[in-house]
Amino acid sequence: MLHVNNLTAAIGGKQILNGLNLDVGAGEVHAIMGPNGSGKSTFAHALAGRDGYDITGEVTLDGADLLDMEPEARAAAGVFMGFQYPVEIPGVNNMYFLRTALNSVRRARGETEVGARDFLNVSKKAMDLVEMKEDFLYRSVNAGFSGGEKKRNEILQMAIMEPRLAVLDETDSGLDIDALRIVAGGVNALRSPERSMVVITHYQRLLDYIKPDFVHVLVDGRIVKSGDHTLALHLEANGYADFENDLGDASEQSFAGAQS
């Protein structure tokens, strides 16, 4: 479903992704782990279409070329990104924001828009999933939300947008154990054969709750190791040092190649 081939990304002349390859099948959950600065968030933003990166390579979703699309077109194609740092929009009520978002993608897909009343029903169901109270809908988007509330709001949005591909960027960061349980519960409930997920995380902890089908280790802008969920446990015990050494060899080779 998602096909990433030889993806590179640079910002301000600094190379961050160095030929990343990944295939995610329908209904699969892939975890991407890696040390700080390895390019995890850049990968998420490259999928979502953030401005400012120089990108090469190939990314398709259901055969459609994502790299050619604006962020809003990718959203309409079914890409949803759960932000590591959800953005505050003061004065814009959460429900209005969510409904505008949902109707924007529906409009782009040529579907009918959802009216205010129907939307309230849709959002109530989604709110139960992340254990939110109704007043949440009437507050400004993320403004004055606690860290946990912001992350739950991301999952709420995902539930409402019903994406084809969800990219969750460090959704576990800044969460206490209760919030983590709620967020992970929401994510698990949204797993479906129709939906693929890329879960980016720093710690194995999240994967105790969301059991991935595959785990990939990202170091220095490329995937250096892939495996099943036991790989995450290995990382938890040994850290990323082994893989960083591997990469040291690799860059040594390319250095030698450049010399000749």
Partner 1 sequence: MTAPMSESTRTIEELTSADYEYGFSTDLETDIAPPGLDESVVRLISSKKDEPEWLLEWRLKAYAAWREMEEPDWAKLEIAPIDYESISYWAAPKQKPVLDSMDDVDPDIREMFDKLGIPLHEQKMLSNVAVDAIVDSVSVTTTFKATLLEAGVIFCSFSEAVKDYPDLVREHLGSVVPVRDNFFAALNSAVFSDGSFCYIPKGVRCPMELSTYFRINSMNTGQFERTLIVAEDDSHVSYLEGCTAPQRDENQLHAAVVELVAKDRAEIKYSTVQNWYPGDENGVGGIYNFVTKRGRAHTDAKISWTQVETGSAITWKYPSVILQGDRSIGEFYSVALSCRRQQADTGTKMIHIGKDTTSTIISKGISAAHGQNTYRGLVKILRSAENARNYTQCDSLLLGKECGAHTIPYIEVKNPTAQVEHEASTSTVGEDQLYYCRQRGMTEEDAMSMIVNGFCREVFNELPMEFAVEAQRLLSISLEGSVG
Write out the two tokens for 233: 């446990």
- Between 17 and 231, name the residue whose CB sits nearer to partner 1: 17
Interface mask toward partner 1 for 171-210; x: CB under 8 A: ----------------------------------------
Tell me which residues in 87-126 interact with partner 1 (CB under 8 A). Answer: 87, 89-92, 97, 100-102, 104-105, 108
Total binding residues toward partner 1, as defined by CB under 8 A? 37
- 139 contacts partner 1 (rule: CB under 8 A): no
- Between 109 and 181, name the residue whose CB sits nearer to partner 1: 109
At its nearest, how many Å lie between partner 1 and the CB of residue 186?
17
Q: Which stretch binds partner 1 (CB under 8 A): 71-79, 110-118, 130-138, 226-234?
A: 71-79
What torsion do the CA atoms of 238, 241, 242, 247 make, to the nearest 10 degrees? 150
Q: Report the C-alpha gap between 169 and 41 in whole angstroms.
A: 6
Q: Which long-range contacts (CB under 8 A, 24 or more apart) does 58-65 make?
A: 58/3, 58/4, 58/5, 58/6, 58/7, 59/2, 59/3, 59/4, 59/5, 59/7, 60/2, 60/3, 61/1, 61/2, 61/3, 61/164, 61/165, 62/1, 62/164
Could you tell me the CA-to-CA distances from 108 to 8, 111, 113, 161, 227 in Å, in that order?
29, 8, 10, 13, 37
At its nearest, how many Å lie between partner 1 and the CB of residue 62?
17
In the set 2, 48, 130, 198, which binds partner 1 (CB under 8 A)? 48
DSSP-assigned letter for residue 113? P
Residues that bind partner 1 (CB under 8 A): 11-12, 41-42, 45, 48-52, 70-72, 74-76, 79-81, 83, 86-87, 89-92, 97, 100-102, 104-105, 108, 140-141, 157, 161
